[in-house]
Amino acid sequence: MSIKFQPPDDAAQDATRQHLLEAAGEVFAEVGFHSATVREICQRAGANVAAVNYHFRDKDGLYAAVLTESLRLSLKKYPADMGLPPKATPEQRLHAFARSFLWRIFSTGAESRHGRLMAREMVEPSAALDPMVKEHIRPLSDLLMSIVSDLLGDKADPQTIRLCAMSVVSQVVFYHHCRPVLSRLFPSVKFDPVSIDHLADHITRFSLAGIKSAAGKRAPACLPGK
Amino acid sequence: MSIKFQPPDDAAQDATRQHLLEAAGEVFAEVGFHSATVREICQRAGANVAAVNYHFRDKDGLYAAVLTESLRLSLKKYPADMGLPPKATPEQRLHAFARSFLWRIFSTGAESRHGRLMAREMVEPSAALDPMVKEHIRPLSDLLMSIVSDLLGDKADPQTIRLCAMSVVSQVVFYHHCRPVLSRLFPSVKFDPVSIDHLADHITRFSLAGIKSAAGKRAPACLPGK
DNA sequence: ACGAATTTAAAACAAGTGTTTTACTTGTCA
DNA sequence: TGACAAGTAAAACACTTGTTTTAAATTCGT
């Protein structure tokens, strides 16, 4: 029988379908779902206006496809295991986590779209956020919490682990999310590779000290009474 | 001459103008500038569709007015000097800064709009962001940097001050900005008053340790070689 | 090469948008 | 009271949006 083989990795299956995904990724990341127009996307893709409705049911279907595709791209370039040495110290693993996270977020290629799309999801969550958290963010979160747990020691309660883990990621995503304010407050700060590495160093040192402090917490220490 | 007096504080000047500002604040905060429709705003305000164009030049003018008004409300409820004891320790001032910031961001009344509007500005900056940074965010940033500077000691370089200050605010705004992900990762975490105070305690302790560590930085310590 | 299925193209559709126009009401001072 | 300004109301305008329709073109197995 002459049934067509499944294309090896659905690569270059349909030309216009791929062009559409590419163009839509750009436009959605640039102006967001609502401000993005099907016409603009199709024009960039060199396709007809009806192409979106033919290949992806509707605009929402296209957006969902873009989101999962952008995630695939981002994971391909920055795998979740982020090239750690197999028997690294928790300190090294924390540093690798922060650094790779920063690199992922501040990448400049097509794989940077996922970060920008996710930033928009934060302010206007779509139906595609749930699976995104389950399949992508949850594993990263678990990985970080295991690192933090190792740093805190055995007697750390889950809440402390969670708080410390959030303190780490917050510093990472902050520079991406608040960039409009940062660039206005400090026009001199750049996000070139060496700056990003310096940033990773700072975040790691800062967080290691914070975690160590949280590990030995008993009384609220130097905090003023409520 | 019978020239009308300037209303004392432009309070309740025009009824519909105020209603429009109120309704627009809600709608803009809920769905963003682009998705907000003039008709929805006018309907909530009990006004005619043409009211927006009459009282504020156009939709953009209304948005700008909403943003400055929301800032005024937020500052009225949470003044920038945040009720600090006049001669408090840097540690106390840091704690007050973090706590009041969290309270401001997680407030539930009409004054919570500013935080949500600013979150949207982060992902899609408008022309109104520049004055907002100059008049509101810059002073807060300077205040925090002075606190951090006191904690770091005299020999701290500006970059370290800046990095540490950003590490502090990042932890604060993170819980607001990434709430969609947080609520999916940890459905149990709440943001009631006592949780917010606990959060402020954690951020303060974590950051104090981090700052102290940054103060004594010389060699990259335990960081792995590049 | 033929014919059926798939894909593309142009045009039109239907709904929703911000804005403007025009007329009407209201309140104020001479 | 009566003209005059300020505010409101209803309707229509001009435009953009996502989507559908209809027809043409292309692809591909036989």
> With 0-12 CB in 10 A as exposed, 13-18 as middle and 19+ as buried, what is A187?
exposed
In a domain, A65, yes or no: no
- B104 and B171 share one domain: yes
Which nucleotide lies at the shortest CA–C1' distance from A35? D17
Q: What is the mean pLDDT of chain B?
A: 88
In a domain, A5, yes or no: no
User: Residue A4 pLDDT > 90, yes or no?
Assistant: no
- A117 and A194 share one domain: yes
In a domain, B41, yes or no: yes
Contact A129 B184 (CB under 8 A): yes
Which pLDDT value is given to residue B11?
42
Average of per-residue pLDDT across A168-197: 96
List the single best residue of B30, B171, B199, B208 to mutate versus A (max A Cβ within 10 A).
B171
Query: What's the predicted TM-score (pTM) here?
Result: 0.87
How many residue pairs from chains A and B have C-beta atoms closer than 8 A? 174
Q: How do residues A183-218 score in pLDDT, each as one tens digit?
A: 999 999 999 999 999 999 999 999 999 999 999 765
Contact A199, A207 (CB under 8 A): no
- B43 and B98 share one domain: no
Q: How do residues A86-130 score in pLDDT, each as one tens digit?
A: 789 999 999 999 999 999 899 988 888 999 999 999 999 998 899
| Chain position carrying tokens 């922060």 | A98
Average of per-residue pLDDT across B198-208: 98
In a domain, A225, yes or no: no
> Phi and psi at residue B110, in whole multiples of 5°?
-65, -25
Q: Which of B95, B162, B180 sits opposite A125 (nearest CB)?
A: B180
CA of A18 to C1' of C7 (A): 14
- B89 and B170 share one domain: yes
State how far the Cα of A169 lies from the Cα of A97, in Å rounded to an integer.
9
- A25 and A103 share one domain: no
CATH at B32: 1.10.10.60
In a domain, B65, yes or no: no
User: Residue B225 pLDDT > 90, yes or no?
Assistant: no
- A42 and A133 share one domain: no
Would you tell me how many other CB atoms lie within 10 Å of the CB of residue B107?
18
Nucleotides of chain D touched by protein CB (<7 A): 7-12, 16-22, 29-30
In a domain, A63, yes or no: no
Which pLDDT value is given to residue A81?
67
- A86 and A194 share one domain: yes
- B81 and B167 share one domain: yes
- B142 and B196 share one domain: yes
Nucleotides of chain C touched by protein CB (<7 A): 7-12, 16-22, 28-30
- A32 and A114 share one domain: no
Range of the domain at A167: 72-214
